[in-house]
Structure 1
Amino acid sequence: MKRDIVKIDSERCTGCGECVKACSEGAIKMVGGKAVLTDEACCDGLGACLPACPAGAISIEERDVGTVPAHTAPEGMVPMTSCPGSGPRRIVRDGGQPEGSLSHWPVQLRLVPENAPYLKGCDLLVAADCSAFACGDFHRKFIEGHVTVIGCPKLDPRESWEKLSRIVAANDIRSITAVRMDVPCCSGIANAALSAARLCGKDIEVKIYTVRPDGKVME
């Protein structure tokens, strides 16, 4: 699977160890007086270590990191290229359904069409996809009154977050509420929301909330 990952130039590395301190995932270790990416699976590719390196020995590259076996379709069948359940649609509640505030589908940022009609002029919620599991009152606190997109800054490719900027620029978004988890790698949610608001060239209010694993919400 191709994704962003850290690359360390051993010749330029001075062995100061600052990148090891900056890596919240513990993916970089000192080996023989040089910084080495010892655990590719743990590297989130967000580059928190880049500004920590005084020698400029660290960069980000896109390359294959492990492989995922491809599933082949049975003989005589055409492989499905997209999920039939990912078509954009609004949710209309008739009163007989379980209580909830979600107004549309899909919600995964990678699946949301950039021109989905429900995005026009909306108040956008950009949430870490695990935050709703930690916050028991997530629907009332955040989803209600918002169009929701979710993602993971650690696992989703960079293209997904570039897509967020295009969504904000093309749909006259009124405001952005970003909900992240209280873990270092989740800062990418807040950064993506702020970047999208800045790049669109409009005055968009951005609110950022942090959810702790125990469910407490901090603004």
Structure 2
Amino acid sequence: MLRKIIHIDESRCNGCGLCIDACHEGALRLINGKARLISDAYCDGLGACLPECPTGAIRIEERDSAPFDEELVKKHLAAKSHSMPPASGCPGSRSRLLQPESATGPSPVAGQPMPSALRQWPCQLQLISVQAPYFEDADLLIAADCTAYAYANLHADFMTGKVTLIGCPKLDHVAYADKLTTILQLHSVRSLTLLRMEVPCCGGLAQAAEEAVAACGKAIPLRLVTIGIDGQVLVPDQP
């Protein structure tokens, strides 16, 4: 029958898996690093997955396909609930807040892992959706990839209580300033902290944050912090 159904452009899909979590019918699966529609009968054609795709790889098209089968979907979801969930890009990928152990709890002792302060997944700036709900009323931390390795106490000193995004302007191929501007325009972000390394390539990340704050049309406090290659804070966090 002729009906509306999703189409995935695999050349644009980056395998983040956000669409898979957004599909309430379980119609999508990550196969060979790409999101695939596993059955036309599972897709209702309403496009709940569209706004989650950060690359615009999904669209609604009208074509001949099997009709949407609600009873088949129920059986499919019941079968999924009794098995391990399929990998959605990075393990545990969800467009929601995580619930880590509070970093304000008891200090870890030797031999025990420190609690993570990461509040959402994914955290890679290139993968996140600008419409993700966790940006609402958030204090935002944008950190260069290398800061996590150079500064040992990153979680406790910078990430606690913040939504954390990471990126590298030298390795990633994304217009950071445009994406950050959209996030700031769509959500009531309370503050933005930019954590960079002292190396020159991190300048692009700081510049993108400054451009986004200037272009968003809102008075959002921006703090720039520089970490030295020896792991020391070179430019302290301003109040």
Give 1:158 deviation, angstroms: 3.6
- Between the aligned partners of 1:170 and 1:126, the Cα distance in structure 2 is 17
Native 8 Å contact 1:109 1:151 kept in 2: yes
Q: Give the structure 2 partner of residue 191 of structure 1.
A: 207
> How many positions carry a matched residue from both structures?
143
1:115 aligns with 2:131: yes
Moved over 6 A (4+): none
- Between the aligned partners of 2:31 and 2:220, the Cα distance in structure 1 is 45
Report the AA paired with residue 208 of structure 1: L
* Aligned partner of 2:180 among 143, 158, 164: 164
Q: Give the structure 1 partner of residue 34 of structure 2.
A: 81
* Aligned partner of 2:143 among 127, 135, 153: 127
- Between the aligned partners of 2:201 and 2:144, the Cα distance in structure 1 is 11
The gaps in structure 2 that reach 5 residues or longer are 1-29, 36-86, 103-111
Report the AA paired with residue 187 of structure 1: G
- Between the aligned partners of 1:200 and 1:110, the Cα distance in structure 2 is 19
* Cα deviations by residue, 1:147-201 (Å, 9 ceiling, x for unpaired): 0000001111243442122111111111110000010111111111111111101
Report the AA paired with residue 160 of structure 2: E
* Aligned partner of 1:103 among 116, 119, 133: 119
CA 1:214–1:119 in structure 2 vs 1: closer, same or farther (change >3 Å)? same
Q: Give the structure 1 partner of residue 98 of structure 2.
A: 91
Q: Give the structure 2 partner of residue 203 of structure 1.
A: 219
Give 1:93 deviation, angstroms: 3.1
- Between the aligned partners of 2:191 and 2:184, the Cα distance in structure 1 is 9
Report the AA paired with residue 206 of structure 1: L
Alignment of 1:1-219 (within 5 A): 79-82=32-35, 84=88, 85=90, 86-93=93-100, 98-219=114-235
CA 1:121–1:183 in structure 2 vs 1: closer, same or farther (change >3 Å)? same
TM-score by length of 1: 0.60
The gaps in structure 1 that reach 5 residues or longer are 1-76
